[in-house]
Structure 1
Amino acid sequence: MKRDLYAEVSARIVAELEAGAAPWVKPWSATPGANTPCNAVSNRPYSGCNVVLLWMAQAAGYRTPRFLTFKQALELDGNVRKGERGTKVFFVKQLHVRDDVTDDSSGTRLVPMMREYTVFNVDQCENLPDSISTGKPIRVRNPDTRDGLADDFLRSTGADIREGHGEAFYVPSRDFISMPAFAGFKGADHFYNVAFHELTHWTGHKARLDRDLKNRFGSRDYAAEELIAELGAAFLCAEFGFDGDVRNAGYITSWVDLLKADKRAFFTACSQASKAADYLRGLALAEPGERAA
């Protein structure tokens, strides 16, 4: 019987949500600099649903989220320890399929095909070079005060963020983010988590990544956009070492409904959240002149 990889992964996430836990919410401040799963050989960070799946694997207590394939371990003169079970990660390849209707190349279409790979944490291996096992140096910060690095990041996006205005929300029609004053939050973790959530919504504006923000209050579309914002905030919180949180626990039920109705919804939301985080990183790295353009 042909396996349905989308349904398998979706069912895993639904099971976690139904148990009351969002698998992308973690206490990140204990391990700053070592929160974003990456390939231990290339140092390239994983993206999309693989980030969440590898975070779930991290629950086994691995020291660092660095992963590699069985073959990569052998190529480094190391090996995966006997009896260790790997974690499945997924990549979507676009296949060019020719329609039978026409003979010319314009009759081709792109069909996404999901490929499955198995990776192992470096803690599941032995005899690997030290450079493969070590992550980035840890950044120390004060959890009760504003974080200079995160503030620079927020400023560098060029988003119109108005602090001290009661509620936290994003207004697409007027393209600004409202945030309560920093002092009104339990601490830096909570403040930046909410700021990253609203900033992820901000990336969906038609002048940026152009997600559908008009129907945000129709149940399923709303649940999908909120899921994108939650995941975007989680990816950024992990990167900056802020502890994660679910913005509104009431969303969990609507996410379960969404994922049960559409087995690809989680992949789509993760992919969109990764795009949003990448877009914001791109703005942060751009020259001031480039941002204004």
Structure 2
Amino acid sequence: MNATKTKNPIQDIHTQITNQIIAALESCSGKVTLPWIKAGASLGRPVNASTGNAYKGINVVALWAAAMAKGYGDGTWATYKQWKKLGAQVRKGEKSSLVVFYKEMEVETENKDTGEIETGKRCYARASWVFNAAQVDGWTPPAVPAADPVAVLDGAEAFVAATGADIRIGGNRACYNPAGDFILMPHREFFTGTDTSSATEGWYATLFHELTHWSGHDSRCARDMTGRFGEASYAMEELVAELGAAFLCADLGVTPSPRQDHAEYIANWLEVLKKDKKAVFAAASKADQAAAWLLARRSPVEAGGR
């Protein structure tokens, strides 16, 4: 374990993780398969081995990118100490991956108008370094029953219906119309399979992208939907939608299929991320919020499955 990493200033967390995402995106330049699509398709949401909790927001993207870059085939992570408590040992020379968590603390500030001391809460970013299950010895992952492909797609269909979105089938492109508040999707027959997913899975992955856009309406998650192609706000919303689709595919067990318009968005995303090191954090947070809001539309019975 490299102890010198803990000496990095906390304010560098955003830069370090953003640079990791930028590097992953640049490796995909000119292609249609993005790092979170590749990793998320096979690993699902990253999970902490000690707590059993799934990682959220930016940590999902960061760990997916790390898994893809390093060729890990497992989505389980933990800190050095957590692995040790589980009876496992991180192998000598293994390099950790950075994640971030936020701790809420009470702070006192002086009111500039009245001079009175006011108490409030503020979130502080804290860095943590984790290792993948592929980097340790002495740990056996719990047995996980194989997913039934039919049940997975039935669950996806139930999820889509539960959102209540106005989805209109027809035309030759997928899009969300903010003015009319409806989603337009081509017929399923227009989708073709890939090496990693079927045509049906590709249809759902594209629909999840548009559903994430749909969640941004003022009456739902209220995101800025006014940007035009080429503008930073447009690139930001597209990044939110892409991450939201990847999160939903992972949560519902659907293998995502790369969208054919990925390549034209990547340049815009890179420009936004390079200018603002906190942009991907904001996008991942909004995508997580969108996915949670959409998944919450399901009934308790439906949510008890996938």
Q: TM-score, normalised by structure 1?
A: 0.85
Q: What does residue 89 of structure 1 align with?
A: 99
Gaps of 5+ in 2: 1-7, 193-198
- CA distance in structure 2 between the aligned counterparts of 1:178 and 1:154, rounded to whole angstroms: 14
1:196 aligns with 2:202: no
1:166 to partner: Cα distance: 3.3
Aligned to 1:208: 220
Query: 5 Å matches for 1:46-195?
Result: 46-59=55-68, 60-101=70-111, 107-128=118-139, 130=140, 133-134=141-142, 136-141=144-149, 147-186=153-192, 187-195=199-207
Mark the CA change 1:122 to 1:12 in structure 2 (over 3 Å): closer, same or farther: closer
The structural deviation recorded for 1:264 is 0.5
Q: Which of 268-277 and 206-215 deviates more?
A: 206-215
- Deviation, 1:148, is 2.2
Deviations 1:222-280 (A, max 9, x none): 11001000111111223323134145210101001111111110000011111111111
- Listed one character per residue, the Cα deviations across residues 57-112 of structure 1 (whole Å, up to 9, x for unaligned) are 2233333201111121222233222222221111123443322346756x345444
5-14 or 39-48: bigger deviation: 5-14
Tell me which residue corresponds to 1:269.
283
Measured in 2, the distance between the counterparts of 1:252 and 1:168 equals: 18
Change in Cα spacing, 1:201 to 1:181, as seen in structure 2 (3 Å) is same
Change (3 A) 1:266 1:170: same
What is the CA distance between 1:168 and its match in structure 2?
A: 1.1
Calculate the TM-score normalised by the size of structure 2: 0.82
Q: Is the 8 A contact 2:39 2:64 kept in 1?
A: no
Task: Tell me by how many angstroms 1:10 deviates.
Answer: 1.5
Opposite residue 258 of structure 1, the aligned amino acid is: V
Contact 2:24 2:65 in 1 (8 A): no
SS at match of 1:147: helix
In 2 relative to 1, CA 215–123 (structure 1 residues): closer, same or farther, beyond 3 Å?
A: closer
Q: Contact (CA 8 Å) 2:36, 2:64: kept in 1 or not?
A: yes
Q: What is the aligned length? A: 278
Backbone CA RMSD of aligned residues: 2.5
Give 1:42's aligned residue: 51
Q: In the alignment, which residue of structure 1 is the partner of 2:254?
A: 241
Q: CA deviation at 1:56?
A: 2.0
Would the alpha carbon gap of residues 100 and 154 (structure 1) be closer, same or farther in structure 2, given more than 3 Å must change?
A: same
Contact 1:35 1:64 in 2 (8 A): no
User: Does residue 220 in structure 1 map to residue 232 in structure 2?
Assistant: yes
Q: For 1:68, give the aligned amino acid.
A: A
Partner of 1:17: 25
CA distance in 1, matches of 2:130, 2:136: 11
User: CA offsets per residue over residues 106-154 of structure 1, 9 Å max, x none?
Assistant: x3454442111111112222233x3xx2363222437xxx932211111
Worse-superposed segment, 211-220 or 246-255? 211-220
Give the conservation status (yes or no) of the 8 Å contact 2:45–2:60: yes
